Amino acid sequence: MPDAYETFLQDLRRKKGLDLSGYKRPQMERRINSLMRSLKITDYSAYLDLLEREIQHWRKFVDTLTINVSEFYRNPAQWEVLESKILPEMLAKTNSLKLWSAGCSTGEEPYTLVMILLNRFPNASFSLLATDVDDEVMTKAKTGLYNDKSVANLPKFYLTRYFTKQDNTYLIADDVKKRVKFMKHNLLTDVFDRNFDLILCRNVVIYFTEESKSELYRKFYAALKPGGILFTGSTEQIFQAREIGYTLVSSFFYKRAE
């Protein structure tokens, strides 16, 4: 017999199309229960009715569960490895790169990559797909308006060159925006495209179960070109990397066999 939480997940999937079965239960349950407490709602079916009726509660629910905060140039040391080692090695072999930012949230990650390529590797040609399960965050990404906090780590040079400051906000240049193709995509259930030179999937899998993480890293492996690279987040070590076929070329950069 499924318990109340499991029944809620089943109903959520049926009524709202959101499948949380691949996510770690304790973290999810704690967040959902805390949202319900803040609304003084004690049973799941009443909460689901509210989520169906009121868009603002649905937004809050999705925001709380997916934790979609991002920033430009997040973990600078890792971007420096990308700029000084990974990209030059890739571009020594091909001049045309196929790139994917998976779980791109509000766009800071794909836009950081575009700025680096335009500035440091101006002769490179590239296509960049940016995907997320949450289309609201991608609407923000397409608008391209950011606050001080999200640009705090970005080298000043990029800020001056690719943004227009409007009061306390920064609007990203169209030349950067137009290089990214945003698309809604669920990493747990949707089909992956193939032949990527580089996939970035950073700070996305923290709430995934070990099983769904392992499957995801296998699917990324198949989606990479031979010799292609997966760039992960700073707390996201792949434990079964060797078994899947990856070689660790630098911390957080995993290479598919040539």
Ligand X SMILES: C[S@@+](CC[C@H](N)C(=O)[O-])C[C@H]1O[C@@H](n2cnc3c(N)ncnc32)[C@H](O)[C@@H]1O
Using CB under 6 A as the criterion, which residues of the chain lie in contact with ligand X when the complex forms? 66-70, 74, 103-105, 108-109, 132-134, 137, 186-188, 202-204, 233
| Minimum distance, C-beta of residue 23 to ligand X, in the bound complex (Å) | 8
Minimum distance, C-beta of residue 42 to ligand X, in the bound complex (Å): 28
CB of 43 to ligand X, least distance (A): 26
In the complex, the smallest distance separating the C-beta of residue 1 from ligand X, rounded to whole angstroms, is 27
For ligand X, give the closer residue by CB, 108 or 197: 108
Closer CB to ligand X, 105 or 179, in the complex: 105
Give 141 or 224: the residue with its C-beta nearer to ligand X. 141
Edge-to-edge strand list for the sheet holding 145-147: 145-147, 169-172, 163-166
| Least distance between ligand X and beta carbon 192 (Å) | 11
* For ligand X, the closer CB: 87 or 150: 150
**7 or 212: CB nearest ligand X:** 212
Contact 197, 258 (CB under 8 A): no
